[in-house]
C-alpha cells in the first residue's frame, strides 16, 4: 500500500530508495513507462520505490500570473500514483525559496530524508537552481555521495510522444477521448455538488452543479458523455460545460445530468469521467428546441456508454479515433 508523505522534510526513510522527481500532472502513459522502470530497479535493489512530486506546480510559483490549469489536483495525482504500486509518494513543497536550492543541496536532502541510492529520470531532467543539476552534474554528485543515475529514454507510442502539455491542449479543446488515449485513463473533474438556480430541474433535466478546484483544467464548453462516481456508486451521465447562451449567458458552469437518478446529493462529492464530447455548446431559438436537443443528448449518451459496461469506464471499450 502506498504511503503519502505530505512534505519531503517530514520524511525519514531508513530503507534505501530508488526515486524519481517531477510534477507528474495527470500521470500519463509516458510517466507510467518511467514508473515501471523505477519499480523494477527498486525490486532489484531491495529498495523502496519513491515518487517525489513537486507542489505547487513550478510554473505557478515562478510565474504567478500564469493561466496554467492542471489535469490533476495533488490528491488526484497521489491517487493515480498509488494505483501504479509506488511505495511512497512524497510531496516536495515548491516555493521561490526552494527554487534557489543548489543541485548539491537538493541531492543532500534526498539522501538525508529518503536514503536515495538511485535516481531515475528522463534525458532532459535537471534539478536545482537554474537547472544546474544536469545529468552529468548529478552523476558526478552521485559518485561522491553514493547514488546512481538512470536515464530512461522516452518511448514513442502509436500516438507519438506523450507529455502533460500535449494532454492539456487536447482537454482544453474538448478532445477528451483523444486525451484519454494518452493518459491511459479518462480525464475527470471532481468536486462538491452545490446549489444552482435549479433551471435544469424546471426543464425536467435536474443537474448537479459541480464546484471544481480553481487550478483544475476544465474541458472546452460543450456537451459530454460522462461516467459518474458517487461514493462507491457508478452512473451514466451527460455533462454540460458552458455559459448557457440560450438563457443569456453568464458564469461558466459544470453541470452533470445523471441518468435515471432522483436522489438529492447537495454537499456530496461527485467525480465525472469524460468519455466523449457529443457536441458544441449552442444557443437555441426556443426552450422547446433546447429540450428536444437535450433529449437527443441523453439518448446519444445512453448509446455510447452502453458499450462500457458497469463501473469505471475502461479504455479498451473506447471507440474514439486516436489523436494524430
Q: Does 165 fall in a domain?
A: no
pLDDT given for residue 323 in this prediction: 37
Considering the domain architecture, whether residues 191 and 123 belong to the same structural domain is answered as no
| Residue 149: band (very low, low, confident or very high) from pLDDT cuts 50, 70, 90 | very high
- The answer, yes or no, to whether residue 317 has pLDDT greater than 70, is no
pLDDT given for residue 201 in this prediction: 67
Percent of the chain with pLDDT over 90: 84
Among the residue ranges 24-33, 80-89, 169-178, 302-311, the one predicted with the least confidence is 302-311
Contact 24, 53 (CB under 8 A): yes
pLDDT given for residue 324 in this prediction: 34
pLDDT given for residue 321 in this prediction: 36
Give residue-wise pLDDT tens across range 86-134.
Answer: 999 999 999 999 999 999 999 999 999 999 999 999 999 999 999 999 9
Considering the domain architecture, whether residues 145 and 252 belong to the same structural domain is answered as no
Considering the domain architecture, whether residues 113 and 207 belong to the same structural domain is answered as no
Considering the domain architecture, whether residues 138 and 239 belong to the same structural domain is answered as no
Q: What is the CATH number of the domain that holds 297?
A: 2.40.30.30
Domain coverage including residue 284: 175-313
Q: Does 249 fall in a domain?
A: yes
Q: Does 322 fall in a domain?
A: no
Considering the domain architecture, whether residues 211 and 292 belong to the same structural domain is answered as yes
Measured between alpha carbons, how far is 246 from 89 in angstroms, rounded to an integer? 46
- The answer, yes or no, to whether residue 204 has pLDDT greater than 50, is yes
- Tell me what the mean pLDDT of segment 203-229 comes to: 94
Considering the domain architecture, whether residues 15 and 132 belong to the same structural domain is answered as yes
pLDDT given for residue 147 in this prediction: 98
Residue that finishes a domain, picked among 151, 184, 214: 151
Q: Looking at the DSSP assignment, which residues form a beta bridge with residue 191?
A: 212, 270
| Residue 228: band (very low, low, confident or very high) from pLDDT cuts 50, 70, 90 | very high
pLDDT given for residue 197 in this prediction: 74
Q: What's the per-residue H, E or C state across the chain?
A: CCEEECCHHHCCCCCCEEEEEECCCCCCHHHHHHHHHHHHHHHHCCCEEEEEEEECCHHHHHCCCCCCCECCCHHHHHHHHHHCCCCEEEEEECCCCHHHCCHHHHHHHHHHHHCEEEEEECCCCCECHHHCECHHHHHHHHHHHCCEEEECCCCCECCECCCHHHHHHHHHCCCHHHHHHHHCCCCEEEEEEECCCCHHHHHCCCCEEEEECCCECCCCCEEEEEEEEECCEEEEEEEEEECCHHHCCCCCEEEEEECCCCCCCCCCEEEEEEEEEEECCCCCCCHHHHHHHHHHHHHHHHHHHHHHCCCCCCHHHCCCCCCC
Q: What is the CATH number of the domain that holds 115?
A: 3.40.50.620
Q: Does 290 fall in a domain?
A: yes
Residue that finishes a domain, picked among 151, 185, 209: 151
Q: Does 166 fall in a domain?
A: no
Mean pLDDT of the chain: 93
| Residue 308: band (very low, low, confident or very high) from pLDDT cuts 50, 70, 90 | confident
Q: Does 11 fall in a domain?
A: yes
Q: Does 83 fall in a domain?
A: yes
* Residue 132 or 314, more confident: 132
Considering the domain architecture, whether residues 258 and 210 belong to the same structural domain is answered as yes
Considering the domain architecture, whether residues 239 and 144 belong to the same structural domain is answered as no
Give residue-wise pLDDT tens across range 273-302.
Answer: 999 999 999 999 999 999 999 999 999 999
| Residue 202: band (very low, low, confident or very high) from pLDDT cuts 50, 70, 90 | low
Q: Does 159 fall in a domain?
A: no
Total of domains in the chain: 2
Considering the domain architecture, whether residues 133 and 36 belong to the same structural domain is answered as yes
pLDDT given for residue 134 in this prediction: 97
- Tell me what the mean pLDDT of segment 144-171 comes to: 92
pLDDT given for residue 161 in this prediction: 87
Give residue-wise pLDDT tens across range 264-281.
Answer: 999 999 999 999 999 999
- The answer, yes or no, to whether residue 322 has pLDDT greater than 70, is no
pLDDT given for residue 145 in this prediction: 97
Considering the domain architecture, whether residues 13 and 130 belong to the same structural domain is answered as yes
Considering the domain architecture, whether residues 207 and 285 belong to the same structural domain is answered as yes
| Residue 56: band (very low, low, confident or very high) from pLDDT cuts 50, 70, 90 | very high
Considering the domain architecture, whether residues 199 and 92 belong to the same structural domain is answered as no
- Tell me what the mean pLDDT of segment 247-268 comes to: 91
Amino acid at each position: 500500500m502506498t504511503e503519502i508523505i505530505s512534505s519531503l522534510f517530514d520524511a525519514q526513510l531508513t530503507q534505501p530508495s530508488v526515486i524519481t522527481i517531477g510534477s507528474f500532472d495527470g500521470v500519463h502513459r509516458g510517466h507510467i513507462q518511467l514508473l515501471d522502470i523505477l519499480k523494477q530497479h527498486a525490486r532489484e535493489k531491495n529498495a523502496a520505490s519513491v515518487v517525489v512530486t513537486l507542489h505547487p506546480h513550478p510554473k505557478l510559483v515562478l510565474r504567478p500570473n500564469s493561466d496554467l490549469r492542471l489535469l490533476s489536483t495533488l490528491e488526484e495525482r497521489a491517487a493515480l500514483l498509488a494505483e501504479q504500486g509506488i511505495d511512497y509518494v512524497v510531496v516536495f513543497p515548491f516555493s521561490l525559496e526552494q527554487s534557489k536550492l543548489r543541485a548539491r543541496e537538493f541531492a543532500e536532502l534526498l539522501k538525508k530524508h529518503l536514503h536515495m541510492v538511485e535516481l531515475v529520470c528522463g534525458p532532459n531532467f535537471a534539478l536545482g537552481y537554474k537547472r544546474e543539476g544536469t545529468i552529468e552534474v548529478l552523476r558526478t554528485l552521485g559518485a561522491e555521495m553514493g547514488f546512481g543515475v538512470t536515464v530512461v529514454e522516452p518511448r514513442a507510442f502509436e500516438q507519438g510522444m506523450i507529455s502533460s502539455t500535449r494532454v492539456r491542449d487536447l482537454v482544453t479543446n474538448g478532445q477528451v477521448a483523444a486525451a484519454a488515449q494518452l493518459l491511459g485513463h479518462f480525464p475527470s473533474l471532481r468536486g462538491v455538488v452545490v446549489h444552482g438556480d435549479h433551471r435544469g430541474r424546471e426543464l425536467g433535466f435536474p443537474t448537479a452543479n459541480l464546484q471544481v478546484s480553481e487550478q483544475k483544467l476544465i474541458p472546452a464548453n460543450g456537451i459530454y458523455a460522462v461516467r459518474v462516481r458517487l461514493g462507491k456508486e457508478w452512473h451514466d451521465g451527460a455533462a454540460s460545460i458552458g455559459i448557457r447562451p440560450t438563457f443569456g449567458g453568464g458564469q461558466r458552469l459544470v453541470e452533470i445530468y445523471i441518468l435515471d437518478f432522483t436522489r438529492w446529493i447537495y454537499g456530496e462529492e461527485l467525480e465525472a469521467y469524460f468519455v466523449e464530447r457529443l457536441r458544441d455548446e449552442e444557443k437555441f431559438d426556443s426552450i422547446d428546441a433546447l429540450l428536444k436537443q437535450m433529449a437527443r443528448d441523453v439518448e446519444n449518451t445512453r448509446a455510447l456508454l452502453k458499450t462500457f459496461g458497469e463501473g469505471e469506464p475502461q479504455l479498451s471499450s473506447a471507440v474514439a479515433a486516436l489523436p494524430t
